[in-house]
Amino acid sequence: MKKIFFNVFVSFFVLNLVAQTPVDNFIHHPLLKNANVSLLIRETGKGKVVGRYNANKSIIPASTLKLVTTASALELLGPNFRFQTKLEISGNVTKEHVLQGNLIIKGSGDPTLGSEFLGEKNFLDQWVLAIKQAGISKIEGKIIADASIYNQEGVSPFWIWEDIGNYYAPSIFGISYLDNTFRLVLRSGPIGTTPAIIRTLPDLPDLVIENYLKSSKITFDSAYFCGMPNSNLRRLYGEIPANRAEFVVKGDIPNPVFLLAKQFSDKLIQSGITVNNPPVAEFSTPFDGQVVYTHFSPPLRDIIKQTNERSNNHYAECLFRYLGLGEGVPVTGRGGVKTIRNLWKLKGLPVDQLFMCDGSGLSPMNAVSAQFITELLDYMYSKSAFSKDFFNSLPIAGKTGTLVSFLAGTPLEGKVFAKSGSIEKVKCYAGYVKNEGKTYTFVVMVNNAQGTSRAVTKKIEELLLSVFK
């Protein structure tokens, strides 16, 4: 009898061990005991499921939501699409080369004007040349930066206060400039003292900064701004390292539309063109005139790659807004959501599992399931006419972009092509694995784990290494 009981016990124990899959080990780890997890791993093209858990449950995706935004942009606009910012004139140009009217910068939502990542850095010189070639040496009217293609909201109403005002959560208008980002140069003293403000780059003379920053023993940037779009007031909180002669933190430019008009006006004057009136930024009233020059952005494939590889929130939000153009002008964030949901509904994806508030994934109000993102990844890999452009936009594990340290030095280095996502208490990865001649889609999203973001990343790495060993 004892022998029979022992054999039954051993058999049960062995079966229990066998039943522990990599996914079981992952979701039952103490780190994740109170976490929300949505997970799906399968061969592309709706192939064999390798692992799944709560795959149809929608949770916060963080920046993996950029996959939805960039895939939607590719499908609707195509990889060769370019934003067009037009210089237009109203009124007449006299024989004396005087423009009896306004010079209009007609915004189209291009995120790359003056960007440090893409496009022509000295594009304003080209604009000045275009005005000279149009035979204009004096402007009697105004230089008007027309950003009326988008509404005046600027930031998502679903972003949190601590993010708004920072470079990674810049305001999005019909005209962007310099990535809508300024740099603040500080000088810090002993621990506990308030760092001194030295200058801003570019120069923002109207900016008022209430400085609550402290010098600290930390060695990294822990400063953050708070402030609303079109307000020149910014409050600066947090800490930076003590005893630094110069330390740079970044914030969002309060009014990039006006800044572009101002710097363009200054360039014209420096080149010898007379400008009679100060520049203005216009957000609600459209202005139209005769086109004298068209500035083209880099192609969408390059913008998509920058968005996904570097997790560029600014680019993602500009694309998200632009996709709402079909719902009418001025474009709104809600219009972008409607356009995206309609697109993927027509393609048969479970849009009832997509709750989208912005294009970058910054809002904690976003939610999506592993199943939806997997279906989207499958479509883009197996059915999209722009599959190659989408795939090439993704960071490579251990090699590029935001995945440069993910799975580095492991057997999966160079085999995982994916988007990461991280905000407070959220860690996610989604993309493709190429292993032993097969391609798999995988989505692993974790909310509210017990440990640090790095600890969760390590567990996700262990999961993938166990599945694809």
Q: How far apart are CA 179 and CA 115, in angstroms?
A: 5
pLDDT score for 246: 96
Average pLDDT, rounded, for the chain: 94
Q: Taking the CB of residue 270, how many other CB atoms lie within 10 A of it? A: 9
Looking at the chain, the whole-number percentage of residues with pLDDT higher than 70 is: 96
Q: Taking the CB of residue 439, how many other CB atoms lie within 10 A of it? A: 17
**Comparing C-alpha atoms, which of 65, 81, 62, 116 is closest to residue 322?**
81
**Residues pairing with 53 in the sheet:** 39
pLDDT score for 45: 84
Query: What is the edge-to-edge ordering of all strands in the sheet holding 426-435?
Result: 49-53, 36-43, 438-447, 426-435, 416-423
Q: How confident is the model at residue 469 (pLDDT cuts 50, 70, 90)?
A: confident
Q: What is the pLDDT of residues 397-441, one digit of tens each?
A: 999 999 999 999 999 999 999 999 999 999 999 999 999 999 999
Q: How confident is the model at residue 46 (pLDDT cuts 50, 70, 90)?
A: confident
**Residues pairing with 439 in the sheet:** 434
Q: How far apart are CA 335 and CA 256, in angstroms?
A: 23
Q: Of the ranges 8-17, 58-67, 291-300, 445-454, which one carries the lowest mean pLDDT score? A: 8-17
pLDDT score for 8: 43
Angle at which helix 370-382 crosses helix 66-77, to 10 degrees, equals 40
- Runs of H (alpha helix) within 323-424: 333-346, 370-382, 387-392
Q: How confident is the model at residue 9 (pLDDT cuts 50, 70, 90)?
A: very low
pLDDT score for 72: 98
Q: What phi, psi does 197 have (nearest 5°)?
A: -85, 125
Q: What phi, psi does 355 have (nearest 5°)?
A: -120, 100
Cis peptide before 330 (omega within 30 of 0): yes
pLDDT score for 5: 47
**Residues pairing with 251 in the sheet:** 166, 182
Provide the residue type at 78 as one letter.
Answer: G
Q: How far apart are CA 469 and CA 255, in angstroms?
A: 51
Q: What is the pLDDT of residues 193-233, one digit of tens each?
A: 999 999 999 999 999 999 999 999 999 999 999 999 989 99
Place of tokens 């959501």: 337
426, 432, 434, 439: CA torsion to nearest 10: 140
Q: How far from chain centre, in Å, is Cα 181?
A: 13
Determine if the pTM surpasses 0.85: yes
Q: How far apart are CA 393 and CA 310, in angstroms?
A: 10
Q: What is the pLDDT of residues 303-353, one digit of tens each?
A: 999 999 999 999 999 999 999 998 888 998 999 999 999 999 999 999 999
Whether 249 contacts 259, CB under 8 Å: no
**Residues pairing with 225 in the sheet:** 236
Asked whether residue 143 carries a pLDDT value surpassing 90, the answer given is yes
Place of tokens 């309060």: 254
Asked whether residue 32 carries a pLDDT value surpassing 90, the answer given is yes
Q: Give the pLDDT mean for 36-62.
A: 95
Q: How far apart are CA 286 and CA 201, in angstroms?
A: 30
Q: How confident is the model at residue 17 (pLDDT cuts 50, 70, 90)?
A: very low
Maximum Cα–Cα distance across the chain: 113
Q: Give the pLDDT mean for 61-85.
A: 98
Cis peptide before 202 (omega within 30 of 0): yes
pLDDT score for 19: 52
**Comparing C-alpha atoms, which of 56, 253, 72, 235 is closest to residue 154?**
253
pLDDT score for 10: 46
pLDDT score for 67: 98
pLDDT score for 20: 82
Q: How far apart are CA 183 and CA 92, in angstroms?
A: 40
pLDDT score for 328: 85
pLDDT score for 12: 44
Asked whether residue 359 carries a pLDDT value surpassing 70, the answer given is yes
H or E stretch at 320: helix 313-322
Q: What is the pLDDT of residues 81-118, one digit of tens each?
A: 999 999 999 999 999 999 999 999 999 999 999 999 99
pLDDT score for 414: 97
Whether 419 contacts 63, CB under 8 Å: yes
373, 379, 382, 384: CA torsion to nearest 10: -130
H or E stretch at 87: strand 84-89
Q: What is the β-pairing status of strands 49-53 and 103-106?
A: unpaired
